Chain A
Amino acid sequence: GDSVTQMEGPVTLSEEAFLTINCTYTATGYPSLFWYVQYPGEGLQLLLKATKADDKGSNKGFEATYRKETTSFHLEKGSVQVSDSAVYFCALSDRTQGGSEKLVFGKGTKLTVNP
């Protein structure tokens, strides 16, 4: 079945450092790709998405580009802030059925940004 692999954490950076979290996927067809973020004590929330090859999703300074040739969707941010400390989940949409969407998630990468 479809699967998502993302880099093992935890990742610890200093404020204003460059961030990359790698994500690769295995899927039949051309799924939509997502990054979700979970801040401490909260539920997951959508950070950005891309629905087809070469699409770039962006939000809050984060970017990720849908690369079909490398089956990747790496998350990047040029200058992280302490407030970016969270767990980041890469995901793909496996299928939709009856109005529902089945998301397949990676394991999550915990990011800690120090001042």
Chain B
Amino acid sequence: DTAVSQTPKYLVTQMGNDKSIKCEQNLGHDTMYWYKQDSKKFLKIMFSYNNKELIINETVPNRFSPKSPDKAHLNLHINSLELGDSAVYFCASSQDLRSGTGYSPLHFGNGTRLTVT
């Protein structure tokens, strides 16, 4: 009954490969996010989607492409992986802040640790 689940938990791959991380939420939220935590532990937003529409797109290389097949899923595909992509990637979800149901905090998954060798 995990609220926000992401797979895989660990991902080790070589430079130049293409990989995907999947995220699913069963909370009925409209908004989903990807955050990246780098080696210095800074947690920074990458993308947000609201009901399958891209809302926030921070300065992220276009090798990163989020895809939202429906509002319960937000996958992250990374092309041509580089050493600097090694990080922990967190998926999160929240209710649409415009829904009028009060403040909705972000609910995070447990993270995917990506190591590029």
Count of A-B residue pairs with CB < 8 Å: 69
Q: Which residues of B (55-73) have their CB < 8 Å from a CB of A?
A: 55-56
Please, how many angstroms separate the alpha-carbon atoms of A46 and B111 in the complex?
16
Q: What's the dominant secondary structure at chain B's contact region? A: strand
Contact at B55–A97, with CB atoms within 8 Å? yes
Q: Which residues of B contact A42 (CB under 8 A)?
A: 110
* Residue with the greatest number of chain A CB neighbours at <10 A, chosen from B43, B49, B55, B90: B43
Interface size class of A (residues with CB under 8 A): 20 to 34
Please give the number of chain B residues whose Cβ is less than 8 angstroms from any Cβ of chain A in the complex. 31
B94 at the interface (CB under 8 A from A): yes
Which one of A44, A49, A97 lies within 8 Å of B56 (CB-CB)? A97
Q: List 15 A-B contacts (CB under 8 A).
A: A34-B105, A43-B107, A43-B109, A43-B110, A44-B92, A44-B106, A45-B107, A45-B108, A97-B56, A98-B50, A100-B31, A101-B97, A102-B56, A107-B41, A108-B43
6 interchain residue pairs of minimum CB distance: A43-B108, A99-B96, A46-B105, A100-B48, A98-B55, A105-B43
Q: List residues of chain B with CB under 8 Å of any chain A CB.
A: 4, 30-31, 33, 40-45, 48-50, 53, 55-56, 90, 92, 94, 96-99, 103, 105-111
